[in-house]
């Protein structure tokens, strides 16, 4: 269902269904089944950008590949990052990945009776070949994941419009056009390149 507050393409992005044992245990969702869409990642981050989009896509791809025979288990995957949490956009990436996987940092849920622990399922500053590594806690199966966003170039108008907007020189039309072009690039990443191995790299770890 399209939310009129958001660009229409959000509703076209593949959604992710997971099973969350904690949600089932506490009666929060029947069977623990939860469903996430790109708009959920946008609401979490407070914005839609290539970083948020690519992280959503990578987490979606990684989870579905790690659980080929059923729904991915939210809370059953550890996420490891090549950079420190305060380096570049790693904090944003970690937040979006955490939304879909349930993996949290040291402030996350401590569990109940030793079950459903979510804290310390994210680790940072590790030597990894790509941006992230997704690891199943139960089996150790792992995937390295990263995105090459330079393969989806922005519109040529973007640099000038960005500069004018940042410096308060853009009029209302230019500001609106900047937002439209920004989201058009996000749409291309998520729709035209969703299954593009040149943009989204996933490989067994």
Q: Determine the Cα–Cα distance for residues 67 and 71; give it in Å rounded to an integer.
A: 6
Taking CA 126 as the corner, what is the angle to CA 76 and CA 120, rounded to the nearest 5 degrees?
Answer: 35
Give, in order, the Cα–Cα distances in Å from 125 to each of 55, 86, 172: 18, 10, 42
Give, in order, the Cα–Cα distances in Å from 122 to each of 16, 86, 95, 201: 20, 13, 10, 20
Q: Which fold has domain 8-149+199-204?
A: 60s Ribosomal Protein L30; Chain: A; (3.30.1330)
Residue 46: which region, alpha, beta or left (left: phi > 0; alpha: psi -120 to 50)? left
CB 63 within 8 A of CB 103: no
How does pLDDT run along the chain (205 residues), one tens digit per residue?
A: 568 889 999 999 999 999 999 999 999 999 999 999 999 999 999 999 999 999 999 999 999 999 999 999 999 999 999 999 999 999 999 999 999 999 999 999 999 999 999 999 999 999 999 999 999 999 999 999 999 999 999 999 999 999 999 999 999 999 999 999 999 999 999 999 999 999 999 999 9
Q: What is the DSSP string of 155-182?
A: PTTHHHHHHHHHTT---HHHHHHHHHHH
Assessment of whether the complete model's pTM goes beyond 0.85: yes
């Amino acid at each position: 269902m399209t939310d009129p507050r958001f660009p229409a393409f959000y509703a076209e992005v593949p959604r992710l269904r997971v099973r969350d044992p904690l949600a089932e245990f506490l009666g929060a969702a029947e069977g623990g089944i939860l469903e996430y869409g790109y708009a959920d990642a946008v609401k979490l981050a407070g914005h839609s950008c290539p970083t948020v989009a690519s992280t959503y896509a990578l987490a979606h791809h990684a989870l579905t590949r790690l659980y080929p025979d059923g729904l991915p288990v939210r809370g059953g995957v550890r996420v490891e990052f090549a950079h420190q949490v305060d380096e570049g956009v790693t904090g944003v990436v970690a937040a979006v990945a955490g939304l879909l996987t349930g993996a949290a940092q040291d402030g996350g849920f401590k569990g109940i009776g030793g079950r459903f622990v979510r804290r310390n399922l994210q680790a940072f500053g590790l030597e990894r070949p790509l941006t992230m590594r997704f690891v199943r806690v139960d089996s150790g199966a792992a995937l390295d994941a990263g995105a090459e966003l330079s393969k989806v170039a922005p519109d040529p108008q973007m640099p000038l419009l960005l500069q004018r907007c940042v410096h308060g020189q853009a009029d209302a039309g230019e500001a609106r056009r900047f937002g439209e072009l920004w989201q058009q690039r996000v749409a291309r990443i998520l729709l035209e390149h969703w299954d593009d191995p040149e943009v989204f790299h996933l490989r067994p770890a």
